[in-house]
Chains A and B, each alone.
Chain A
Amino acid sequence: MNHANVPVQILLPLFSIVIIAMILAARKKHLFIRRIQGLTAIDEAIGRATEMGRPMLCSIGLGSIDVPTLQALSITSYIIRNSARFNTRAIVPVADPQIFPVAEEAVREAYTVEGHPEQYNAEDVRFLSDRQFAFASAVSGILYREKVAASFLFGTFYAEALIFSETGQQVGAIQVAGTPSTTQIPFFIASCDYVIIGDEFYAASAYLSREPTLLGSIVGQDIAKALLLLVVIFGSLLVTFAPVLGAIFSAFLKGK
């Protein structure tokens, strides 16, 4: 089992306190976050699918019930709520049986919240396979057969990322992607129209919903990142100009 060493015991609670403090502060004042092009493009993609009268594909990746997949589901929920207003069909392929009932419920809820529960089609939230490439081939099949106009790829992806995005390119779908899997980001950048990178993925639900609680957590994240950057700069300066102190600092960070 992994356990926290001293630096982690200091930094993790510190970052948590900063994030929670900003969430509480955000309830009292208006906070600004910059424009994220990839997330703004979601509405454009929904609009395109609506104009063309073709369905959209919202993939939540290969993950199970974990933070990235829940975040992907949160973005999918937003997409479906917006598309429900225009009666645009959204297909949600699922690779993990554990996340399947959660996805079903989230999609049904999204249609209900928008006042269109009749648009929910149980067949559109599809469990395909928990085998990576069987899932990839099934999603590719859906992209071709349904001639999707917009493809949203959010969540944890592995080698199948390029299969999805290149197939999407071939059918002429507008593609918006975001993943915490750093190895797959270059593939998405090469194949998709819009990509959200790094922590923009976790900022998505705040950016899209504009809920004060979530905006506060984004500002908290930025402050925590700045603190982390200070630690990195401090450590680099120590290692460069005072090697002995740098070695002590390095040993402390490693928990030795």
Chain B
Amino acid sequence: MSALFKSVHGSAWWLHVAFVILFCVAVFAVLQLTPKQSRKYVIQLVTFIGGLFYALEFFLPIHAQVTAANAHGEGNFITPYMDVVSDWLTVIGAFTVGLGVINLSMVHTKRLAKGGNTAFNSAVFFVSAFAMMAIDILQKAHPNALNKNIYELLFSGALTTLDATMFSIIAFYIVSASYRAFRVRSTEATILLITAVVVMLGQIAVGQFITHKLPEVFHFESIREWILTLANTAAVRAIGFGLGIGSLAVALRIWLGLERGSYFDSQA
């Protein structure tokens, strides 16, 4: 088993690559030839084995496992293979990046061909994508000052700035969302409004000044602290418990092939 995970070099590396490609082609061919109903069982089996691997690694007793990278490492006999399996997942994930780019290109090619209002946006997409790709390849192949500066201009000057612009819009959206939420329409909305005002006053100097002559327990900052650390935390933890167990239930259903009624299968 451990020979399967050993690093190889030279001609053995080429042999391994060829074997992996052939293996993938064979698996793909078998999956394509398998009837759709049977394919479901293959997927379930792979899901079960994958889940079992991680579950065993998590639950089996651990002992000290010193490695060159980690002098205080702990684990069981499965732990050393975790990195290898993570690499597999990364490689599989990398294949799908191409799918996303292909989909984007197909959508925008059709729009360009069709013309109309959105054709300009599609042209901008192609120009931006190719410009970014070209300059990234260039600055890696020829890392001179010009290439690096152009890359920096496009990445930090344009992309990061546009990201920051979108992020800053949230500030305005918070105001409009708060306005709607704080309109006194029901008992709950009134409680929400009062709580929000108290928390806000507890956060700012003016609020702290208003109550500074009262006993400490009535200070806005004390009430704010109580709301945030006790009332709010208790509610969030309750939601967290529910989410944790809900997540466990869904994970179990998927792992054991019991998920029904959605894109998996419907129960007879």
B190 at the interface (CB under 8 A from A): no
Given A182-B236, A197-B239, A211-B261, residue A189 in contact with residue B74 (CB < 8 A)? no
User: Please, which residues of chain A bring their CB within 8 A of the CB of B173?
Assistant: 162-163, 166, 191
User: Please, which residues of chain B bring their CB within 8 A of the CB of A73?
Assistant: 262-263
Most A Cβ at <10 Å: residue of B167, B178, B247? B247
> Does A218 contact B59, Cβ atoms closer than 8 Å?
no
A78 at the interface (CB under 8 A from B): yes
> Does A212 contact B267, Cβ atoms closer than 8 Å?
yes
CB distance from A196 to the nearest CB of B (A): 11
B38 at the interface (CB under 8 A from A): no
| CA distance in complex: A136, B163 (Å) | 10
CB distance from A226 to the nearest CB of B (A): 10
CB distance from A189 to the nearest CB of B (A): 7
> Does A12 contact B100, Cβ atoms closer than 8 Å?
no
| CA distance in complex: A153, B250 (Å) | 19
> Does B177 contact A190, Cβ atoms closer than 8 Å?
yes
Given A78-B262, A133-B167, A159-B167, residue A166 in contact with residue B243 (CB < 8 A)? no
> Does A166 contact B177, Cβ atoms closer than 8 Å?
yes
CB distance from B183 to the nearest CB of A (A): 11
CB distance from B99 to the nearest CB of A (A): 6
User: Please, which residues of chain A bring their CB within 8 A of the CB of B76?
Assistant: 3
Extra contacts besides A3-B76, A67-B254, A198-B243 (7): CB < 8 Å: A74-B262, A97-B98, A100-B103, A199-B245, A202-B249, A214-B261, A217-B252
Given A4-B59, A109-B263, A218-B249, residue A23 in contact with residue B74 (CB < 8 A)? no
User: Please, which residues of chain B bring their CB within 8 A of the CB of A68?
Assistant: 247
Q: How many residues of B contact A (CB 8 A)?
A: 62
Interface of B is mostly: helix
List 5 A-B pairs, minimum CB-CB distance, nearest first.
A209-B261, A202-B246, A199-B242, A74-B262, A97-B100
User: Please, which residues of chain B bring their CB within 8 A of the CB of A15?
Assistant: 245, 248
- A-side residues, CB < 8 A to B, are 1-4, 9, 12-13, 15-16, 19-20, 23, 64, 67-68, 70-71, 73-75, 77-78, 94, 97-98, 100-101, 105-106, 109-110, 122-123, 125-128, 130-134, 136-137, 145, 159-160, 162-163, 165-166, 169, 180, 182, 185, 187, 189-191, 197-199, 201-203, 205-206, 208-214, 217-218, 220-221, 224-225, 228-229
